[in-house]
Amino acid sequence: MKTIVTLTMNPAIDKSSSVDHVVAERKLYCTAPRFEPGGGGINVSRAIRKLGGESLALYPSGGPNGETLQFLLNQEGIRHRPIPVKEWSRENLIVLEGSTGQQYRFGMPGPNLIEEEWRRCLAEILSSDPPPDYIVASGSLPPGVPLDFYARIARLGKEHGARVVVDTTGEPLRLALREGVYLIKPNIGEFRDIVGPGSEDESRIREMAKKVVSDGQCEVVAISLGAAGVLLVSEAGTERLQPPTVPIISKVGAGDSMVAGMVLSLARGNDVGDAVRFGVASGTAAVMTPGSELCRREDAERLYQQMAPAE
């Protein structure tokens, strides 16, 4: 199998709990908290592990929170390499209101990285032995990191023969596309934000995705259409992939599980159509699990078998 490295520039400890009612200006007595390692690339590595694969997770790590992140990743058996930084890694809070089933998610901004620190993160990508065949750069950028950071990774990938997968939003994604990447997985709103106005209906979105591919900005575009499935556009053509209907328990981690399934399948030598189909199955499997549990291998493989190739 080809090698996979994930990079999470803004990792987090995801601290989750629940309470019967969320009421302002009252002390709320919550259940015992649960702690999990989080952040885009870390979740991709966790999902790859759950799907039976292996990757190396790289991430900046600082302070006691950084040490906790390392402990949590060790507990899950994830291959990882922390990159020391001065400021503390962040902690996010997720609270489930039991009476309504609503989830409140509080995301913190993350540490401020100085230039020496974020440049060290870039250098670490290619330091693994063997060097990566796939680089997954996923999640938000913390303060201090330039907006063209993912574009720099795309340039590194091209220089060293690695396929770069970018899963982020806004200007960092736009700049990465300008440099040229292998695969992106935006949802429909994120894709509209990239390509601008005039992409309101699906046929127009399809044409804009084809243009992204033909312009050399990206080889594979997989756009999540929500309940309508996933639109796959590549040089090989266009497909619509529709997952089976499943009970939705939690959508947390579905996107990261989809990326994990796609990249793992590609690393195993499968073609793009099969890889995206397995990614869709993995993302669908994730919504069947509670909280941020991500996907289960048996669910992903069963759903994959149920999915007929798109017309």
Burial of residue 75 (CB within 10 Å: 0-12, 13-18, 19+) is exposed
Helices and strands, number each (H, E), in the chain? 10, 13
With H, G, I as helix, E, B as strand and everything else as coil, classify residue 102.
strand
Please list the residues that pair with 135 across neighbouring strands: 5, 164
Q: Which of 256, 271, 274, 299 is catalytic?
A: 256
- As a whole number of angstroms, the distance between CA 59 and CA 170 comes to 21
Q: Write the single-letter amino acid at 166.
A: V
Q: Which two tokens stand for residue 140?
A: 């938000």
* Angle between the N-to-C axes of helices 254-267 and 272-286, in degrees from 0 to 180, rounded to the nearest 10: 150
* Angle between the N-to-C axes of helices 202-214 and 188-195, in degrees from 0 to 180, rounded to the nearest 10: 60
- For this structure, is 201 an active site residue? no
Residues recognised as catalytic: 256
